[in-house]
Every structure is written in structure tokens, then in C-alpha cells.
Chain A
């Protein structure tokens, strides 16, 4: 049973964590929040933004603040799956040669998959098991990944040449997709100041432990959600399906596939985590709204007409949100 002290301790831990990340990362509050939500929900997050916005720095800062193992994988077209998950190598010990498994970079608590869309689908799919099952199978052996485990992937929306867009099955494994915006003028000034003066950026010291995260995850899952809000979430997800009677006209016109049941789960879990980070003991409609677009934007597959006309998934989701009855 979750006590008041546990709740307060977890809340305090994550407040400190946010503060520590904030000392390194200028702005990007929402991005940090989504990263924390993914961490609390045992999920993965996909960051989308142009290079140089601090995505890698964010992941490194988060891992440092959490005191967790961190690994970074730079995806390239010639990257092989074994380069990610690891491989068996022959070792000789005491005159005996044997295959010994050399873990890949996925064996960490926090994995940064940088520019994940530059690798081939085969290599990309090597992450699927790790992201969803939290296991890695090499040959006949299956290795469990240590919790807490989170994959934070990035992709560049501009350089599309020579890239391999993520298949829908893999995209669906990401709990949230957060767009990393370009910093504002004040933030940009602050970024230059931090990086050009003194000793430069110093990664924060650990402020939380793995056990703190596991406790927080337990608290988040215990947060109650009203039944009417669960129905509301269900209506929202169904409204993204063009064949649904509740779908807005734009969805019927431009959407090929809507959100999966994982989307509904992501919405509920993300709303719970958002409520926890806000210090609430129940899910509110604002919490659902906060994670609505991050949980659904990458799960919405536009049809040819939508792609041709440059329809934004966010615009469609705004329409869905506005036209779905709340109760």
C-alpha cells in the first residue's frame, strides 16, 4: 500500500530531478516532462527535431541526474543489429575456447538511439524486443534488461534522403513522441552563455536512484482514473479512426489508420504520470489533454491525400479533441 510518505518522497524526488535537468537544459520543459513521463510509465519516447537542439544533451543529463547507466547509439545505414544488441564472441580461457556474449549498447538503463531513422529497418527492428519486452535475444539466449529501462530515440525531420522511416510497428512502441522546438531568443542567449563561459556544461549529480523510479512508477499506476474519463479516452482514440462514426470529417478524409489500443494505454498512463508530476492524486482532463497529442501524433497514419496536401497530424488531433464529447 502506498503511504503518504512514499507519495511525498517520490514527488520530491522528481521535483529535484526536474530541477537538476533544468540546470543543464535551457527551456524544453515539455520535452523534459515527456521524458520523465515515459520513464514513469515504463515507456520509450521519440524526440523529433533538427540537429543541435540539445536532444543528446538532454538524455545525458537525465541519465546523469538519475545515476543510471547510459548508452548512446548513433544509427547509420551500415549499422547492424549485432552492433546494438551485442553478439557472441569466442573467448579463450584456460585453454578452452567458448562463445561469450558481449552485450550491446542496448544493455543500459537509458539508451539514446540517435537519428534512429538512418538505420535500416532490420537494425531498427533490433530494438523492438528491447523496447517492448525489455529483453534481448541473441542466438538461443534471451537476456533481460535491467530496470528502469528507457529508450530515447531521436530523428531528424529535415534530412529525409537516405533515411528509413520507422515502420508503424516500431513507432507504436514509443509511448510518446515529443517535438523538440527551436529555443526562443532568451533561451538561446542563455544556452550560449552556459556553453561559452566558465567550465562549460557540467552534468548534474545523481538526485534519484533506480529504486526511487520504481517506487514512483508504482505510485503512478495507482493513481485513480474516473470511469467517465476512461470512456472519454476511448472516444478520443476511436475518433482518430476514419471508419468511426465519431470521427471528425477531416479524420475521415485524411487518415488511413488511427490510434491503436496502445494509444489508449499511453493516454491513460501518460495522464497518470502527468498528474503525479503535477502533485495530483487523480487524473484530470487536463492531464489527458497534456499527453493527448504526444501519445497519438506518431500513431496517426495519414493517407495519400493527407500526405499530398501536407496535412499535419497535430491539426487533425486538435480537431478530434475539439469535437469529441467530454461526457
Chain B
């Protein structure tokens, strides 16, 4: 069979063009894969807001262009002279093929064409091995395929950080949020929303305890004992919520503050109730009623503190009336670490109260001016408290009003129910404006802003013969409800929760806190009770 150089040349050219097309396509594939990997990484780490599926767009477009790239490479015709000389070099045919191409192109015939054709026919029996796919193209193609596989699998692999966030969050995001909140949140009771708050850490922020009760935060902060503020916690939660839908349920700042306020109110109500019960138990040991037990457990659960709930259960489950007082004391210490230790006995309280003469404290001077009347008042207040507890036990099963978290609306509801004019601590300026003029002293008006002074002055009051409790003793804004029955008996009930809230809210100095607290105790007949 005669060697047909034209057919041979056509076959060589087709193969070279195919290889060129594959090479161009392989390069584009590698570029596409690299782009896909970069885009995927950016979407996973830099632009999390964009759905990861968008990472497929760029590589998809480039992959769709692969056939076009092949066509571009294929359509570029090689220079025959160079292509054939490369084939000569690869086959070791000493430029016979390219020389024959020159002879054929010049349309020469004769000796040289005949001899070259016969030689080329022998040289090119296995010419395809001389034109393999270049190793570089093979490597590029392999890398492109591997990269393409990686780019496809990469979006399916979850981020370790997302796993960590998901595992760090407990089942209920609200519970998690409550755990990071402090046990006391004074500004939660501020209806103005802490308008005067500055950038410096508030006492609440400084008191945030992250070590024992917030293992989640400890983990996230690598175990370092960092100062954690509410803002930082909220910022962390906000940043987490950007990358995970699970964190979208994290409450907002207002919700957290509201929750903290409710917990604090519950804690305070529990403290007051326990204090009251402990006082009663010290005088008349008795088992807790079902209503009291339910109320205690309800308040304990509202605090969100498992330790308090455990102590509450201990109190409720205690059958021995003599031991209940101790359990109540434990619970009180847990609920209110600043709680005073119990007095030795009511007698000693009376002795203490009797020994405290006018020379010791100005406040007691006014009260102890008529000890008999004070004693009667104390007895009445204790009876009224007991009656109120019994009445509520017979009611609709709702917790006592004292244990409810207090806000303005609650205070108004309570006012409507009792029909009494009671000023609740909705306005923080009440005590500052009127407390001093009532004779108990309070923050001085000429005190510099931000500082609270306390001036002792005698209240101009008159104590009657019967020792009646004068309303003037009750400062406006103090949470004391005064009611007079048809028989002329006056009943006063102190809202211990609001009382503590007022004391705390006013930011009174520590030395004044005790005096104020004692004042409230005295006017309600609960001296030494808490």
C-alpha cells in the first residue's frame, strides 16, 4: 500500500489539535477548580451570610466553558513545519518527515520524494507514540479532577466552629441566656432602661460570675478567667447567631434583661418569703402548708438556680418542724448571701431591742419612745401576715402577691385589689424627694450628683398614748400597705421584695442599708426578724 503523506499529515494534525484542546481545557479546569476552592473557602469563613451553594456557581460556569476551551485549543491549527519537525525529533527520523513535507508542498517529484516517502513510511508505523498527551497536561488534568472532587465535597463538610457552637449551646437558648446573666440585675427594675448608664462597667456587670455556673462560657473563653460583661456576652451571642440558625433563637437584649429582671424578682420574693417564714418558725415551729410549699417551689423554679431549687426541696420535704427553721436558714443563705444570721431567740431580740437606747441610733429613738405600742404593732403585723398567708392558701392557688415580680403594672393591680393607696418604688426619686422630709433622713438634696449622702435628723413626730402607729412614719414610696378595718384596727403589710429593691436601687451606702432595713422591720413589727 502506497504511503499517503496527505492522509498521514491530516491524522497528525488532528491528533495535535486534540491534544492542544485537551491541554487548554485542562488548564481551564484547573483554574475553575482553584476558583471553586477559593470561593468555597471564602463563603465558609469570610462571607457566611451567603449560602454555600453559591460556591458552585463560579466553578459551574467555568466547567460549562470547558467544551469551549477545548474547541478554542482544537481550532488553533499548528504550523505544519514545526509540528512535523517535533514528530521527527520524537521518532528519530532525522527530519525526513518535515523534509518530505517541503518536497510535497513544493510539488516536487523524483528521487528525493520517492526516497523520503519510503523512509517516512517506515518511520511512521507507530507515530502516535511520538505524540503523547504531554505530562504537564496529564498532571494538570489530574489535579483538576482531584480539585473538582474536593470542591464538590467541601461544602458538604460542616465547619468545626459550627459544631462547637452547636454543642456549646444547651437545648434551650433561653436557659443558656439566663445562665449567663447575673443573680442580681438592678437596672432591670429601672423603668427608664438605665438611661444614665455610662460606658464603665456597672456593678451588675462586674458581679457576673462565669466560673461556677457558666461552663459554656468557660469553654468558649479557653478556660481563662476573663472579665465577662453583659455586652460581651450579648455580642458573642449575636456573632454566633450570624452563622447558625440554631442561635437565631437567642433572645434579644431586652428579652434577656426582662428575663433577668423576672429571675431577680423571683429570687427576691423567695428571700423575703423565706425570711418571713423563718421568723414565724422561730416563734411558732410548725410544718409548712401546702400552699407555702408550692409557693416556695414555684419561686425557686423561677430563679433558675438549681442550688436554690434543691435547698427549697429540702425545706419542703422536711417533716420535722424544728428542722425547718435550719433548712429555711440554709435556703435563705443560698438565695441571699447577704442575709443576716438568725437571732438567738425572740427574747434576746426583745432584750436587744430594749437595750438599744435613744443614744445608739436616732431611728430607734423615735420608735422605742413607745415600746409598748411598738410591741403591739409587731404582734398585729405578724398576725396579719399569717392571715394573709392563710387567705391566699385558700384562694386560687396563685403565688402570694409578695412573691410576684414587681413592676408598675403589678403594683397597680395590687392597688386595685386592696383598695389601698400604696406607693410602689416605680419612681426612684420618691425617697430622695420625700424621705428626708419625713424625718428618717435620706439623700441630701445638696449632695453632689452621683453621690448619696445620709444625714441624721430627728423626725418631728408625736406618739399617742395608745401607741398607735402613725402614718407619718411611713414614708411615701415605701412599700407598706395600710388598711383600717371597721373596728378601727390598722393593718400594715410590707412588701419585702419592693423594700429590698428600693434599698438596692437607691444605691445607698452599705452602712445606711442596715439602718433602712431596720427601719422597715421596726415599722412592721418584724424587728430582728431578718
Contact = CB atoms under 8 A, between A and B. Distances in A.
A227 interface: yes
A268 to B, nearest CB: 12
Given A326-B89, A327-B86, A327-B89, A227 B98 contact: yes
A226 B102 contact: yes
A281 B112 CA distance: 6
Nearest to A222: B112
Interface stretch (A2-10, A196-204, A239-247): A2-10
A223 B102 CA distance: 11
B115 interface: yes
Given A327-B82, A327-B89, A229 B98 contact: yes
Contacts of B110: 1-3
Interface residues of A, number: 24
Interface string B106-147: 101011101110010000000000000000000000000000
A327 B85 contact: yes
A281 B82 contact: no
B38 interface: no
B85 A229 contact: yes
A228 B84 CA distance: 9
Could you tell me the dominant secondary structure of chain B's interface residues? helix
A261 interface: no
B111 A229 contact: no
B101 interface: yes
Interface string A280-301: 1111111000000000000000
A20 to B, nearest CB: 26
Interface residues of B, number: 25
Interface in A306-327: 326-327
A226 B112 contact: no
B99 A226 contact: yes
A281 B115 contact: yes
Contact of A226 (B81, B108, B111, B119): B81
Contact of A282 (B81, B89, B116): B116
B41 interface: no
B134 to A, nearest CB: 15
Nearest to A2: B111
Given A1-B110, A225-B99, A226-B84, A281 B116 contact: yes
A181 interface: no
A198 B99 CA distance: 50
A222 B99 CA distance: 12
B103 interface: yes
A289 B114 CA distance: 26
Contact of A284 (B81, B94, B103, B111): B94
B267 interface: no
A246 to B, nearest CB: 16
Contact of A283 (B82, B99, B111, B114): B99
B112 A224 contact: yes
Interface string B52-88: 0000000000000000000000000000011011101
B369 to A, nearest CB: 116
A206 to B, nearest CB: 27
B96 interface: yes
B95 interface: yes
B94 A227 contact: no
Contacts of B112: 2, 222-224, 281-282
Nearest to B86: A327
A286 B94 CA distance: 8
A2 B88 CA distance: 25
Nearest to A326: B89
A284 B115 contact: no
Interface in B309-335: none
Nearest to A284: B94
B99 A282 contact: yes
A227 B95 CA distance: 10
Contacts of A7: 111
A3 B99 CA distance: 18
A224 B95 CA distance: 10
Contact of B82 (A2, A223, A225, A228): A228
A219 to B, nearest CB: 8
Contact of A227 (B88, B96, B102, B111): B102
Q: Which of B89, B111, B119 has the most CB of A within 10 A?
A: B111
Interface in A201-239: 222-229, 231
A151 B88 CA distance: 37
B101 A280 contact: no
A169 to B, nearest CB: 33
Contacts of A281: 99, 111-112, 115-116, 119
A224 B103 contact: yes
Interface in A1-25: 1-4, 6-7
Given A1-B110, A2-B111, A7-B111, A226 B89 contact: no
26 contacts: A1-B110, A2-B110, A3-B110, A4-B111, A223-B112, A224-B108, A224-B112, A225-B102, A226-B98, A226-B101, A226-B102, A227-B98, A227-B101, A227-B102, A228-B82, A282-B94, A282-B95, A282-B96, A282-B99, A282-B100, A282-B112, A283-B95, A285-B94, A285-B95, A326-B89, A327-B85
Given A224-B108, A224-B116, 7 more contacts: A2-B110, A2-B112, A226-B84, A282-B96, A283-B95, A284-B95, A326-B89
Ranked 9 nearest A-B pairs via Cβ: A226-B98, A282-B99, A228-B85, A227-B81, A284-B94, A228-B81, A224-B99, A281-B115, A226-B99
Interface of B: 81-82, 84-86, 88-89, 94-96, 98-103, 106, 108, 110-112, 114-116, 119
Interface of A: 1-4, 6-7, 222-229, 231, 280-286, 326-327
